[in-house]
């Protein structure tokens, strides 16, 4: 429990309208986009780096756990206060502090919505490349914590490739900076270390990001298939032709029908799968690549290859892709989204394995994923009101991720480990590797108060990790 004196000191920092501590308000902060739930004891809304540092000093004084939170769109429980304590919401630290087009940089606070950076520089011909599907809602601080990706990861990379510097607050209230606008500063790459550390080492209060010029030409294609495995073969064929599209996204028939019914984006309702492919660059180069991609798709069994004829049609196709998870919510009361990685050549066999898991568990599993880099997103539909279905869905997801590792891949490509994949870290890493991670975290957070119970497993079993950490009365659903 947070001592009343600590609450008073925290409230004095952020003001009377800068915190929440009533149960009915805290209930809004006990979940993210995953399935785990736990309620913080207090949520504070700082507006400056100085306030974040002061909050950290008070929590250090009283030994209170802290959890940073962006928009709560994460899918692995990374922003869940599984040991109660203070949640620091960055919703009010949402200003773009500087736009430096001459040097292709921007400096932003962590609560800035991802898409807002691109909107701020769009008229000048620039954009911010990382584009998670939740980019209209997710924030840069959360993107940094999870090293978020998105459909255009194939050509542009993930968040770490576009974050150049950070201002951070340690759990004791110390403030430090890493990197900056400059290129290749000397010293350890702390920016790279902290990007993807899931908020377990420091609270990010400022981010320097890279801006990029918009391409001269963009072409978007939709390839339609009667067999999902042909999609996987197509990805390998495109790569073999030395073409690197900026995006190759796949949706199977189950999901595209949900998406089409929700968004009316123009996807064929009778298809078994589609590939959404985008190329960009110089006009002449994109035209040549479009023809080669068309040949590759038809050669691998596509029954049809369409090209978006206008920016509006392109936007509609992408609207369907980026609203896919919302479309699933119209059909199933509950679902679990996984994000294992496999080598591109293993996509067809992994799709077969997912189908076998679906049949074995009697659960409907639809597929949508970044096919270009093998980042699989099987969506496991279930009804949490049916006894045992949540456990079945979680176990099905674990089997899929174990298979991804066995095929030379990873348990996560962009969603992070959070609470959800703690036990699976031992499938991915040796005990020595995990111990190294633990020791590194303790250099930044020796008392382990910052986002505790995340990213790396303790020596307890999986159920001990996931359930006792939740506050009394919390619901795991």
With tokens 């023809």, the residue in question is 291
| Per-residue H/E/C for 178-234 | EECCCCCCCCCCHHHHHCCCCCCCCEEEEEEEECEECCCEEEEEEEEECCHHHHHHH
Residue 465 pLDDT greater than 80, yes or no: no
Q: Are residues 363 and 454 part of one domain?
A: yes
DSSP string, 314-354: HHHHHHHHHTHHHHHHTT-SEEEE---B--GGGHHHHHHHH
The chain-wide mean pLDDT, for the chain, equals: 93
Q: Per residue in 240-265, pLDDT tens?
A: 999 999 999 999 999 999 999 988 88
Task: Please give the angle made by the CA atoms of 333, 365 and 386, to the nearest 5 degrees.
Answer: 40
**Exposure of 13 in the CB half-sphere (CA atoms within 13 A):** 24
**Among the three residues 153, 182, 213, which one is the final residue of a domain in this structure?**
213
pLDDT for the residue 185: 87
Question: CA–CA separation, 33 vs 40, rounded Å?
Answer: 16
User: What was the pLDDT predicted at 457?
Assistant: 85
C-beta neighbour count of 303 within 10 angstroms: 15
- Tell me the per-residue pLDDT of 160-215, one tens digit each, with 9 for 90 and over: 999 999 999 999 999 999 999 998 889 999 999 999 999 999 999 999 999 999 99
> β-strands 66-69, 86-89: how paired?
parallel
**How deeply is 40 buried, as exposed, middle or buried, from its count of CB atoms within 10 A (0-12, 13-18, 19+)?**
buried
Same domain, 266 and 338: no
* pLDDT of amino acid 273: 96
Summarised one tens digit per residue, pLDDT across range 139-163 is 999 999 999 999 999 999 999 999 9
Record the pTM: 0.93
Query: Looking at the 3D structure of the chain, how many domains does it have?
Result: 4
Residues 164 and 49 in one domain: no
In a domain, 474, yes or no: no
Q: What's the pLDDT at 472?
A: 32
Residue 449 is part of a domain; what is its CATH number? 3.30.70.2740
CATH code of the domain in which 39 resides: 3.30.43.10
HSE-CB of 68 using CA atoms within 13 angstroms: 31
What tens digit of pLDDT does each residue of 321-374 get? 988 888 887 888 889 999 999 998 899 999 999 999 999 999 999 999 999 989
pLDDT at residue 458, rounded to an integer: 67
CATH number at residue 126: 3.30.465.10
Q: By residue range, what is the domain housing residue 141?
A: 96-213
The mean pLDDT of 76-97, rounded to a whole number, is 97
Tell me the C-alpha distance between 432 and 347, whole Å: 30
């Amino acid at each position: 429990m947070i001592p009343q004196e600590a609450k008073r000191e925290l409230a004095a920092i952020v003001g009377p309208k800068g915190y929440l501590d009533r149960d009915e308000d805290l209930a809004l902060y006990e979940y993210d986009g995953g399935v785990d739930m736990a309620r913080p004891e207090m949520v504070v809304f700082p507006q400056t780096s100085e306030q974040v540092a002061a909050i950290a000093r008070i929590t250090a004084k009283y030994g209170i756990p802290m959890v940073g939170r962006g928009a709560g769109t994460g899918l692995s429980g990374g922003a869940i206060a599984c040991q109660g304590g203070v949640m620091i919401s960055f919703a009010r630290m949402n200003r773009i502090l500087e736009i430096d087009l001459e040097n292709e940089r921007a400096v932003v606070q962590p609560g800035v919505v991802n898409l807002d950076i691109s909107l701020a520089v769009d008229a000048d011909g620039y954009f911010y490349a990382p584009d998670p599907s939740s980019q209209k809602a997710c924030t840069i601080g959360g993107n940094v914590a999870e090293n978020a990706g998105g459909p255009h990861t194939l050509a542009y990379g993930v968040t770490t490739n576009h974050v150049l510097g950070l201002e951070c607050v340690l759990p004791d209230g110390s403030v430090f900076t890493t990197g900056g606008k400059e290129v290749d500063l000397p010293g350890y790459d702390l920016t790279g270390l902290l990007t993807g550390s899931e908020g377990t080492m420091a609270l990010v209060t400022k981010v320097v990001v890279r801006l990029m010029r918009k391409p001269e030409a963009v072409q978007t294609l939709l390839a339609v298939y009667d067999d999902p495995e042909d999609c996987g073969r197509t990805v390998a064929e495109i790569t073999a032709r030395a073409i690197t599209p900026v995006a190759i996204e796949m949706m199977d028939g189950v999901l595209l029908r949900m998406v089409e019914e929700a968004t009316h984006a123009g996807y064929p309702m009778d298809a078994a799968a589609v590939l959404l492919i985008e190329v960009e660059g110089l006009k002449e180069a994109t035209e040549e690549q479009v023809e080669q991609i068309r040949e590759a798709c038809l050669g691998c069994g596509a029954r049809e290859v369409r090209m978006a004829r206008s920016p509006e049609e392109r936007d509609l196709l992408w609207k369907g892709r980026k609203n896919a998870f919302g479309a699933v919510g119209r059909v199933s009361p509950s679902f679990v989204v996984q994000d294992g990685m496999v080598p591109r050549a293993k996509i067809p066999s992994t799709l077969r394995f997912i189908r076998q898991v679906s049949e074995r568990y009697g659960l409907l599993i639809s597929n949508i994923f970044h096919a270009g880099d093998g980042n699989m997103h099987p969506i496991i539909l279930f009804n949490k009101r049916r006894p045992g279905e949540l456990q079945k869905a979680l176990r099905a997801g674990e089997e899929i991720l174990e298979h991804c590792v066995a095929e030379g891949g990873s348990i996560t490509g962009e969603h992070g480990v959070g609470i959800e994949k703690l036990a699976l870290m031992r499938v991915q890493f040796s005990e020595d590797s995990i111990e190294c991670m633990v020791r590194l975290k303790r250099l930044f957070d020796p008392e382990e108060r910052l986002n505790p119970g995340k990213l790396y497993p303790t020596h307890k079993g999986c159920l001990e990790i996931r359930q006792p950490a939740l506050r009394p009365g919390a619901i795991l659903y």
